[in-house]
Amino acid sequence: TQIFVGRHLMHEVTSPQAFEMLKEKGIQIKHPELTWAVLDHVIPTDDRTRPYKDKQAELMAKTLEDNVKDSNIVYFAPGFGQGICHVVFPEQGILWPGQLAVCGDSHTCTYGAFGVLAFGIGTTQVSHVLATQTLAMDKSKVRRINFNGELQKGVTAKDITLYMIKKLGVEGGVGYAYEFGGEVIDKLDMEGRMTLCNMAVEGGARSGYINPDKTTFEYIKGKPFAPKEFEKAIEYWKSIISDKDAEYDDVVDINASLIEPMVTWGINPEQTLSIEEIIPDGFPEDVYEYMGLKSGQKIQGIPVDVVFIGSCTNGRLSDLETAASLLKGRKVSVKTLVVPGSEYIKSKAEKKGLDKIFKDAGAEWRFPGCSMCLAMNPDRLEGKQRSASTSNRNFKGRQGSPNGRTHLMSPLTAAASAIEGKLTDPRKYL
């Protein structure tokens, strides 16, 4: 089925070849007004001086700047709202319920938090959307996942996400779109909902989705790109909510009151434990070898070398606030990077004095960008360093060193681990 794309979002990594394909064929961009761009993957977070020290990063930045200028596309440049794509585009009010949104990035499913059907596409598809504003796609099966119960103290959206992936597996969602609901989701703010939808793809699903409600509408209201006729827009948004008697291909119920602070121990997000558990046996030997861990070992207390708080999963204001609440008046004992998801968040955090809390604690307060989530900028692990990270992927080599070890967790757990220099249960500080 050929479907109209309501929102096409771009960054510097998957767009250059797409623009090149169009130039070679002399094709104009069909709807530049439905296309937005940002620089996030390669941009350094410590020094913004141009040209960037990394020649490849400078070339990619320059190429994106030239392409958006030639095409009349709105571009959130450094100094003008720059940040991580999946943080910037929602905070600007670009995503509206009922749309189809695509981006050449696998974590595009973040936008499902707004009642948007959103997923990542490849470079060839990026060029196709630029040329036609449409995309051919097959209908996914839909799995409804209900999170019910009351969350324990110290348990966040990141924890319920890791718990879900552990339960359903990294391939459990293949062929599915996940629709999240239940009383826990109803109470989650938009930032928590974005964290959950962001990692739907890590569970194998094409997209994650939450029905829009009052929380959604309030978040979009007043944003720069929010609809002008807002009340009229809300009427339509309410009409697309799933019917109470909707039938799903599969339904999963999760008792969220059983969830504790979670942390990954292995080389994919399914290999996850609660902070109080011990490392299981029965996994391939190379997993234990790579991670430098043994079955039967407690996950809590394992020393870490670096803590990274940021990314499109957990680089929003509420994430920084929860980390700061733990670090206030305390000191970190290992290298700790705090990287806001956007310039807007950085500015808001600084107005609240969060930067001072982080700096006083001994952490580094950086400029926005993808940073240590992936190995495309100077923020990387070295050798066999072990990180406590609020990002979304813990594959071998993901954070820059072919031997670097990554443990995924919430900003709360990361902050507690920064204080002690080892994987730590944050509840002891609450």
The domain that holds 12 is classified in CATH as: 3.30.499.10
247 and 317, same domain (yes or no): no
- End of a domain among 199, 229, 258? 258
Q: With beta carbons less than 8 A apart as the criterion, state whether 10 and 84 touch.
A: no
Radius of gyration of the chain measured on its C-alpha atoms: 21
174 and 49, same domain (yes or no): no
Which residues of the chain register pLDDT less than 50? Answer: none
130 and 205, same domain (yes or no): no
389 and 268, same domain (yes or no): yes
- End of a domain among 136, 168, 195? 136
Q: With beta carbons less than 8 A apart as the criterion, state whether 105 and 230 touch.
A: no
Half-sphere exposure of 271 (CA within 13 A, CB side): 22
For 56-101, give the DSSP string. HHHHHHHHHHHHHHHHT-EEE-TTTT-B-HHHHHHHTT---TT-EE
132 and 149, same domain (yes or no): no
268 and 407, same domain (yes or no): yes
DSSP 8-state class, residue 10: E
pLDDT of residue 83: 98
pLDDT of residue 375: 87
Continuous segment of H or E residues that includes residue 23: helix 16-25
DSSP 8-state class, residue 110: G
Domain that holds residue 179: 141-258
272 and 403, same domain (yes or no): yes
270 and 350, same domain (yes or no): yes
- Cα three-residue angle 404-410-416, rounded to 5 degrees: 85
Q: Angle, to 10 degrees, between the axis of helix 354-361 and the axis of helix 317-327?
A: 40
Q: With beta carbons less than 8 A apart as the criterion, state whether 404 and 382 touch.
A: yes
pTM: 0.97
195 and 284, same domain (yes or no): no
CA atoms of 345 and 342, how far apart (whole Å): 5
Cα(first)–Cα(last) distance of the chain, in Å?
51
Entry field: residues in the chain: 430
Number of domains in the chain: 3
DSSP, collapsed to helix, strand or coil, labels residue 219 as helix
CA atoms of 317 and 246, how far apart (whole Å): 35
238 and 335, same domain (yes or no): no
- End of a domain among 106, 136, 166? 136
In angstroms, the Cα distances linking 95 to 166, 170, 194, 396 are 29, 27, 12, 33
289 and 418, same domain (yes or no): yes
CA atoms of 365 and 359, how far apart (whole Å): 7
276 and 418, same domain (yes or no): yes
The domain that holds 215 is classified in CATH as: 3.40.1060.10
Please choose, from the candidates 41, 103, 35, the residue with its C-alpha nearest in 3D space to the C-alpha of residue 379.
41
